[in-house]
Amino acid sequence: MEAVICAGGRGTRLGSIAKEIPKALVPIAGKPILQRQLEDLARSGIARVTILTGHLGELIDDFVHSRAWDLEIVLIREERPLGTGGGLAQLKGMLDEPFIFLYGDLILSMDFGALIHAHREGKRLMTLVAHPNSHPYDSDLILEDEDGLAVGLLAKNAQRAGYYGNLVNAGVYVLDPRLLEGIENGRKIDFEKEILGKYIALREARCHRTTEYIKDMGTPERLSQAERDIESGIVEGRRRSNKQRAIFLDRDGTINKYVGLLYKPEMFELLSGAAAAIRRINRSPYLCFVVSNQPVVARNLCDMATVGNIHRKMETELGKEHAFLDDIVFCPHHPDRGFPGENAEYKVQCDCRKPKPGMLLDIAKRYNVELKSSFLIGDTTGDIQTAKNAGVKSILVETGEGGRDGKYEARPDHAAPDLGHAVEWILNREGINA
């Protein structure tokens, strides 16, 4: 397994922090970012790393040769700036297996072995790492189809109409070496626009969604936040191989105002304080997932695409307040038949409709979540029964139905006025300052 790091950036947005050193050598929590990346790659079994340098590349050369590493390092200096993709042309004929490609300004902790495995399983020329973040409005967003293929890219500087999902291009890829042959020698190339865009159009780019910590340190504010996250253990804790803790959220009546059957985006309105509560979860060691019954599909009030648009509105509104959801899972089924106009395809018994624990079990498997250390927050006795069935702790909020549905006798582990108070109780209980 080999990796390539693009480390030629100037770090202009960092101001005086990167005035006299290349961006990849900016220190964070006592170590240069490049050192952290190399150590993380070695930990995943990467044997060889090629570093593409440019601005003040001699300092990277001095740094690399000043210490011993647990991997082989090759340095290639760009004589003139070739952008984020042009330097890859220099690797033609040097690589014969899929390789990891990442930017040198990323603070991360990743199981790169799992990423390589996903690439081989996906059978495409490119796999891109994607995740939600706290600033989707100024990030490159990936459009993904139901099979996990990237089908579009919303550039961070482009005008966006309507609502958008929070699935951000993380700047980490696995590339098949055959891609290198199509890169013109000596030309400055924007990787996202000219290479990623090309292979998305060819349906040769697959998404690898992860909750692992990946943050670019392009601004002083992001650098400071990443440093705090390293020191608190969040960066290392999010690594895929570590058991995760999660806070599962019901949607209607917990995150947004309860209006009965919500079947179009105009009906969706965030509850006061919901975004702030989710933002606190994002800054804590907990992951944050939505698990929601949406029988509006089975009742034929709307289709699956409309539910997706409702969720894009939710993610857009949360993103404006620097909050995000690690994933959204919903059940479109309803078991009872015989209603006028119903969609028979979804009128089935399933394992995902709450209070069955299927949605939580699925998330636990995909994201390595330890259920006994996790919580579910919801507004109905059905949510509380779901928590019992899944083996997670439960909190009943007074918003929405406030437990007045009376369908189940399950009692919560705690009751709270709203989502904000519920999250505060969890974090205080665990001694977490977020």
Q: Indicate which residues carry an active-site annotation.
A: 250, 252
Q: How far apart are CA 175 and CA 126, in angstroms?
A: 5
Q: How many helices (H) and strands (E) does the chain have?
A: 11, 19
3-state DSSP assignment of residue 290: strand
Q: How far apart are CA 327 and CA 359, in angstroms?
A: 11
Check: CB of residue 283 under 8 Å from CB of residue 424. Answer: no
Q: How far apart are CA 399 and CA 346, in angstroms?
A: 29
Check: CB of residue 283 under 8 Å from CB of residue 434. Answer: yes
Angular region, 335: left φ>0, alpha ψ -120 to 50, beta rest? alpha
Torsion of CA 109, 130, 140, 73, to 10 degrees: 40
Q: How far apart are CA 184 and CA 415, in angstroms?
A: 61
Q: How far apart are CA 166 and CA 159, in angstroms?
A: 16
3-state DSSP assignment of residue 116: helix
From the number of C-beta atoms within 10 Å of its C-beta (0-12, 13-18, 19+), residue 169 rates as buried
What are residue 405's phi and psi, to 5 degrees?
A: -65, -30
Q: How far apart are CA 213 and CA 211, in angstroms?
A: 7
What are residue 401's phi and psi, to 5 degrees?
A: -80, -15
Pairing status of strand 205-209 against strand 126-131 = parallel
Q: How far apart are CA 229 and CA 221, in angstroms?
A: 12
Contacts (Cβ under 8 Å, ≥6 apart) of 101:
3, 4, 6, 88, 172, 173, 174, 175
Q: Quick one: tokens of 19?
A: 């005035």
Residue with tokens 């509850």: 271
Pairing status of strand 99-103 against strand 31-32 = unpaired
